[in-house]
Copies of this chain bind each other. A is one copy, B any other.
Amino acid sequence: MLRYDTPLRDMQFVLHELLQTEAVLGALPGLGGWDSSTLDQTLETAGRFACGELLPLRASGDREGCRIEDGRVKTPAGFAQSYARYVAAGWPALAADSRYGGQDAPELLHSAVSEILNACNPGWTMFPGTAHGAYQCLLAHGSQAQRDAYLPRIVSGEWTATMCLTEPHCGSDLGLLRTRAEPASDGSWRISGAKIFISGGEHDLAPNIVHLVLARLPGAPAGVGGISLFVVPRFLPAADGGLATVPNGMVATAVEHKMGLRGSATCAMNFDGSTGWLVGQPHQGLRNMFVMINASRLGVGAQSVGMGQAAYGQSVAYARERLQMRASGGARRPDLPADPIVEHADVRRMLLTQKAYVEAGRMLVYWLALALDVQARATDPVEREAAADRLSLLTPVAKGFLSEKCAVVADLAIQVHGGHGYVCDNGVEQIVRDLRAAQLYEGTTGVQARDLIVRKIMNDGGRKFRLLLGQIRRFAEAAREEDGMAVFCAALLAHADDIQQLAAEIAEAAAHEPDAVGAAGCDFLCAFGHLVCAWLFAQAAQVAQRRLAQGADDPFYAAKLATAQFYVARLLPEADFRCRIARTEMHSLSRLPQERLFV
């Protein structure tokens, strides 16, 4: 079975030493109570819950999967019981509004807890994870009556919730969406259409499911400007106003057989005149749904870091006990028949790559999750806007870059295990399979790259982008004279210049070459992601070096410094390579028509 230890020490480092969370949260109305020790205790409790309840169901949930029985979806053995205990312990309410029964915790804490849950059982975690996204969307756009009707039950976990966007013929291109909404005489709507890839679309964890469904009103404009959002519960209240027990004209027609996340019920749904209520204004559905999509994108970052941590932790544990060959410099453990493979340089290279990406990802996700809280609650509008800018610019990076790099982390876990990583027993191949979805859902990496370049950089003339680069440069200028910081600061300044230049080149090329963004997008996103992570690691190195200079007696700091140095020496150079590729003649991909190119 996969081993997992909640990485409390590193979480605390990011929260308390890097982000100074207590001070930031303390200044936000309503979050002052979430001091360091409360955060720590919550994470520790979450770790105990996840390790005790979810980790034991990780492999069995994967083997068993979800299935349809008598028209209902059955989740793997133990899932429903664990969900009941999750609800009983109040976890769904953690980062929810107290007006609806929530505990008013910061989104930051929700992200960190989500990392832990996903590390232990990502398939299971899809159920509450999707519900939290739907909660945010209804809170932001639902009428007061809709909030009152649904939010308390979603917050308590009594009901779950989903988002229903994708249809068989449209995923990235929601403009093609066909699901229809016909008006009923009572002000409600009748929703009809086929949806696919609905996580938790049907299951046996809860007695009701609140679906948020995108559909078109009669005569709606074509494309994305004609899509409306509806709330469509699985069961309607009985005529006497009693329990919600009246089936609402929908059925899960299939549960997908997937590469991974097999514990999650990914349903094909058919809505046939289901009763729904409009959420927000007509034709504003996609815009309103984007609250949820953006939160979900950052959630994919947290999920990726969680699974990456699980892969890294298991790899280190295995590399410490697996004995093969002697270290190159001579036996390190002459008492054993061979040395632990952690002593081999090539294995260390893999373990440090894992450690560096996971820790970089944790810094990025927590920093952005903290921005969610600042954006929502800061009293100073300038502060709120700065947080919103940061989130807007970096959400596609957290989603696109971290899902790709944590996939590398998971893949390396197999490689560290050798042939033993390929068999299911050690649990690492499941991480690769589970994590592979992260590069696909909530928009593929290519979709994130286009979002980053077109919507987040080009659309405001590069304002947000330059603000961030300015922040990075100011850090580097200020820190460069500090002991040991020169190597970080020089790299940051050089890469910031190169990436700013590249963004300008892409924008210029895009003016006359339609394929410019598509041709350079994923490489640009990767290079930019590296710069941001290197900057976070430079900050972490600065903290660590100061602690060491103060005589701190904790190996954590020396390890953090070594990891930061490894990142800059061995991982960051990929940014140069990606920038170079992104600069290759952008027309080259379309010089030949497709039928004469792919022969």
Contact B338 A176 (CB under 8 A): yes
Query: A562-B592, A566-B588 known; A436 and B422 CB under 8 Å?
Result: yes
Contact B446 A346 (CB under 8 A): yes
Instruction: Give me 9 other A-B pairs in contact (C-beta within 8 A), A415-B446, A418-B444, A432-B436 excluded.
Output: A170-B324, A173-B338, A176-B324, A176-B338, A258-B429, A346-B449, A349-B589, A559-B596, A562-B591
Residues of B within 8 A of A595 (CB): 555
Residues of B within 8 A of A259 (CB): 414, 422-424, 429, 432-433
Give 10 nearest A-B pairs by CB, closest first. A345-B518, A329-B514, A328-B514, A577-B577, A345-B515, A259-B429, A173-B324, A346-B446, A345-B519, A555-B596
Residues of B within 8 A of A347 (CB): 446
Which residues, 558 to 599 on A, are CB-close (under 8 Å) to B?
A: 558-559, 562, 565-566, 569-570, 573-574, 576-577, 580-581, 584-586, 588-592, 594-599
Residues of B within 8 A of A173 (CB): 323-325, 338
Q: How far is the CA of A437 from the CA of B411 in the complex (A)?
A: 11
**Min distance, Cβ A475 to any Cβ of chain B, angstroms:** 23
Which residues, 333 to 356 on A, are CB-close (under 8 Å) to B?
A: 337-338, 340, 342-349, 351-352, 355
A86 CB within 8 Å of chain B:
no
A166 CB within 8 Å of chain B:
yes
**Min distance, Cβ A252 to any Cβ of chain B, angstroms:** 15
Q: How far is the CA of A325 from the CA of B599 in the complex (A)?
A: 24
A519 nearest CB neighbor, chain B only: B345
A172 nearest CB neighbor, chain B only: B324
A385 CB within 8 Å of chain B:
no
Contact B9 A328 (CB under 8 A): no
A197 CB within 8 Å of chain B:
yes
A125 CB within 8 Å of chain B:
no
Residues of B within 8 A of A257 (CB): 423-425
Q: How far is the CA of A320 from the CA of B595 in the complex (A)?
A: 9
Residues of B within 8 A of A570 (CB): 581, 584
Partner of A329 from the list B172, B175, B344, B515 (CB cut-off 8 Å) is: B515
Query: A344-B518, A515-B329 known; A597 and B176 CB under 8 Å?
Result: no
Q: How far is the CA of A490 from the CA of B71 in the complex (A)?
A: 65
Query: A173-B338, A555-B599, A598-B316 known; A423 and B566 CB under 8 Å?
Result: no
Contact B599 A9 (CB under 8 A): yes
Which residues, 473 to 520 on A, are CB-close (under 8 Å) to B?
A: 514-515, 517-519
A522 CB within 8 Å of chain B:
yes
Q: How far is the CA of A270 from the CA of B306 in the complex (A)?
A: 39
A179 CB within 8 Å of chain B:
no
A171 CB within 8 Å of chain B:
yes
Residues of B within 8 A of A106 (CB): none
11 contacts between A and B (CB under 8 A): A9-B599, A170-B324, A176-B337, A176-B338, A257-B424, A257-B425, A330-B514, A419-B440, A559-B597, A559-B598, A577-B577
Interface string of A427-461 (1 = CB under 8 A from B): 00100110011011100111001100000000000
A104 CB within 8 Å of chain B:
no
A308 CB within 8 Å of chain B:
no
Q: How far is the CA of A310 from the CA of B16 in the complex (A)?
A: 50
Residues of B within 8 A of A414 (CB): 259, 436, 439-440
Query: A316-B598, A337-B176 known; A588 and B569 CB under 8 Å?
Result: yes
Contact A328 B589 (CB under 8 A): no
Contact B440 A422 (CB under 8 A): yes
A430 nearest CB neighbor, chain B only: B259
A290 CB within 8 Å of chain B:
no
Q: How far is the CA of A176 from the CA of B594 in the complex (A)?
A: 54
Q: How far is the CA of A176 from the CA of B337 in the complex (A)?
A: 8
Query: A589-B349, A597-B559 known; A444 and B415 CB under 8 Å?
Result: yes
Q: How far is the CA of A260 from the CA of B521 in the complex (A)?
A: 32
A561 nearest CB neighbor, chain B only: B592
Q: How far is the CA of A429 from the CA of B432 in the complex (A)?
A: 11
Which residues, 391 to 431 on A, are CB-close (under 8 Å) to B?
A: 414-415, 418-425, 429
Residues of B within 8 A of A591 (CB): 562
Residues of B within 8 A of A355 (CB): 598
A256 CB within 8 Å of chain B:
yes
Which residues, 146 to 168 on A, are CB-close (under 8 Å) to B?
A: 166
